[in-house]
Structure 1
């Protein structure tokens, strides 16, 4: 399962060298992650309504090539794990050349909102949506 977004890098995301500040890469990952979560109807509002929060507990970014002001980029999010946690991998490409600029991942875990208990397996609310999405895709 994957989703992607295209971003025109804005001026307010760059430093004095017109290179994207390293912290903004996580924002770009988040934009692609939200689109991915929308694909199977379990974005943050649906998570909360189902009684779970999904905090990011780990992130990793490999900065291979700098991204610059006004560059058009394509950010791809790929769901890799979902049984016990959400592991989403990301790749950022230059839109015109398709050169990969960055890669990384985030890990999120389910936490029951009612008692703030960490869940060691993904809740049925997520698994049901993924099954429904999968069935819809194979039709």
Structure 2
């Protein structure tokens, strides 16, 4: 059985995240993606600390973002994080940020690979990741 795993978390734009134009500086959207990914991981048992506890690291090797509408200081927004299942030894996440009016503000994707603590790339899924995928019906 294949299913889509998703998690949504809400955040509020802080003053220090805005540029002189009063809108969120473009680089902060990547931080919002990371916040969404961490919330997803904590909720579903695949956070960085879980990976690290198993003796692995999961560096981001690709990140992209498409900007649709601006966010401004004080705005509330939601970041939806979706795990994209694939057979490779990597994690792909897609993100959708929506403002309070539920308009899409930005979309993006990150790819993370697994390494050991020395930085050596894992070519097969680490056992803990295969177990996690099995637990969520992703095998």
The answer, yes or no, to whether TM exceeds 0.5 is: yes
SS in 2 for 1:74: strand
Are the counterparts in 2 of residues 4 and 76 from structure 1 also a CA contact under 8 Å? Answer: yes
Q: TM-score, normalised by structure 1?
A: 0.89
Q: CA RMSD in A?
A: 1.5
Paired residues, what number?
133
Q: Which moved more, 1:119-128 or 1:14-23?
A: 119-128
Indicate the SS of the match to 2:20.
coil
Partner of 2:74, secondary structure, is: coil
Segments of 4+ in structure 1 off by > 6 A?
none
C-alpha contact 1:75 1:92 (8 A) present in aligned 2: yes
Deviations 1:51-107 (A, max 9, x none): 110000000000111111111111000001353210100000012x11101000000
The 3-state SS of whatever aligns with 1:70 is coil
TM-score by length of 2: 0.89
Contact 1:40 1:130 survives alignment (8 Å): no
Give the distance between the partners of 2:120 and 2:72, measured in 1 at CA: 41
Q: Which runs of 5+ in 2 are unaligned?
A: none
Query: Quick check: 50-59 or 117-126, which moved more?
Result: 117-126
Q: Name the residue aligned to 2:99.
A: 94
